[in-house]
Each structure stands twice: as structure tokens, then as C-alpha cells.
Amino acid sequence: MNNDPFCGGRKLPLVEDFYTIQGEGFHAGKPAYFIRLGGCDVGCRWCDAKMTWNPRLYPPVEVDSIVERACSYPAQAIVITGGEPSLYPLDYLTERLTERGLEIFLETSGAHELTGRFDWICLSPKRQQPPVDSIYPRADELKVIVESEEDFRWAETNAARVAAGCRLYLQPEWSRYDRIVGPVVEYAKANPRWNISVQAHKFMRIP
Ligand SMILES: C[S@@+](CC[C@H](N)C(=O)[O-])C[C@H]1O[C@@H](n2cnc3c(N)ncnc32)[C@H](O)[C@@H]1O
Ligand SMILES: Nc1nc2[nH]cc(C(=O)O)c2c(=O)[nH]1
Ligand code: SF4
Ligand SMILES: [Mg+2]
């Protein structure tokens, strides 16, 4: 009997993997191979990846096979996302990708203690399940989703906790884009240490 379904990180629950253009944040516009892991316990009501939430739908698969597939594309960068990747042991995956000379970017809510080695960490904190303390100094980018004006205060609360060089982004919640983009633009103009991230892949109609 194996009590560890993830075999120390050699297997992970894969939802999908695909080569596309990073649509969000600092690396927006950069071709990247996405690895989307299943399972999330954070429960954002506007989550655009709800199909990932139930980990039982995604039995663990061999990480080596994911890495081989990624390497069959000309991608130079990998985005590890989900679901919530911090739920899983990521050392094995990130070591294998690093060995292949790939840059590794992470998308996380920071809800759980993080394992693995990353070239870039995007922290997208969620009010209902805030990040663990240890992720704040490691964030290269803070990306706060704005669905209403109340989220500007949440954005500042998190900005006060990241390192000095961390890039700050406000990202309009997609289903409220038309209503909230105006206030987001005005907030950034009045508080220019914040930049705006729009989900460019949705405008481009690509994955
Ligand atoms: C699907 S999440 C997966 C990674 C991780 N669970 C997280 O939330 O950071 C990827 C990114 O999409 C953002 N996101 C999800 N739904 C969104 C929406 N409706 N509008 C704007 N951004 C959204 C998240 O905040 C996160 O930055
Ligand atoms: N193109 C594209 N860019 C993205 N950046 C972050 C995404 C995510 O779901 O984590 C995402 C995504 O789903 N697609
Ligand atoms: S933390 Fe990320 S994957 Fe989980 S519900 Fe929120 S946006 Fe979706
Ligand atoms: Mg997405």
C-alpha cells in the first residue's frame, strides 16, 4: 500500500497542460507552457478555473511525462498554476524543469506552505483564505483581483507585506470587467506604484 498518492512529488494531479501566451501580470505577452494542477480549497466565487476544484477528478500522473511533453515544445518558460499548486510537493517537478533549462513561473494564492524552486512567483491573495506568512517575502509580483472598490484596501494590506521590489498589479475581475475597469484605472493613476493587469488571453480568445 502506498499512502502517498503523489509519491513525494513524482506524481501530480494534472488538469491540463498547453502551450499559449501568458496573459497576466509581469510576464504578459510571453509564450509559456502551462501546467494546471487540480484541487483548490480557496473557493473564489468568480474563479475562472472552477473545473479544477475537485482533486478526485484528476488522478495523479507521472511528472516525468509532463516534463517530456513540455520539452517537445519550443517554450522557454513554464507556468505552474491550478487549482492551487501550493497544495502539492513541487520540488521534483521544479527540479526536472530546471534541469531542462526552463524558466519556472508560479501562480498561487499562497494559501499553503510552498515547496519547489521558482524563477518568478505571482502571489494573488484571497481574502477568505489569506496567504501564509512565509510567501510574502518570496513574491516577485502581487496580483490582486478587483471586483469592487473594497478590494483596493485589500490590495494595500497585501502590498504592505511584500518585499520592496515586488511588482504590484490590480487585475479587474473578468465578469465585472465593464463596471470595474474605470475605477481600477483611476486608482492606478492616483497610486502609480500600482500597474494594471488585464487578462489579455481572454481578449485574444486563446487558452
Ligand atoms: C485560476 S488561478 C490559479 C492559481 C491560484 N489558485 C491563484 O488563485 O493564484 C490563476 C489566476 O487567475 C486569477 N483569476 C481567477 N479568476 C479570475 C477572474 N474571474 N477574473 C480575474 N482574474 C481571475 C487568479 O486570481 C489567479 O491570479
Ligand atoms: N493565457 C493564459 N494566461 C494565464 N495567466 C495565468 C493563468 C492562470 O489560469 O493561472 C492563465 C491562463 O489560464 N491562460
Ligand atoms: S484560489 Fe485560484 S483556483 Fe482557487 S478558487 Fe481562487 S482563483 Fe480559483
Ligand atoms: Mg486562467
Nearest-angstrom CA–CA distance, 172 and 169 = 10
**Cell numbers at residue 197, please?**
493587469
Mutate to test the pocket of ligand 1, among 145, 170, 173, 197 (most ligand atoms within 8 A of CB): 145
In the chain (207 residues long), the average pLDDT of successive 10-residue segments reads 90 98 99 98 98 98 98 98 98 98 99 98 98 98 98 99 99 98 99 98 98
Q: Compute the residue count for the chain.
A: 207
Q: Tell me if 81 sits within 8 A of 107, measured CB to CB.
A: yes
| CA distances for 68 relative to 15, 50, 98, 168, 178, angstroms | 16, 27, 13, 34, 41
The string of pLDDT tens digits covering residues 70-115 is: 999 999 999 999 999 999 999 999 999 999 999 999 999 999 999 9
ipTM above 0.90, yes or no: yes
Question: With the CA atoms of 144, 148, 153 and 159 taken in that order, what torsion angle do they form, in degrees rounded to the nearest 10?
Answer: 10
| pTM for the predicted model, two decimal places | 0.98
The string of pLDDT tens digits covering residues 136-145 is: 999 999 999 9
Q: Which residues are annotated as a binding site?
A: 21-23, 36, 40, 44, 46-48, 81, 83, 124-126, 207
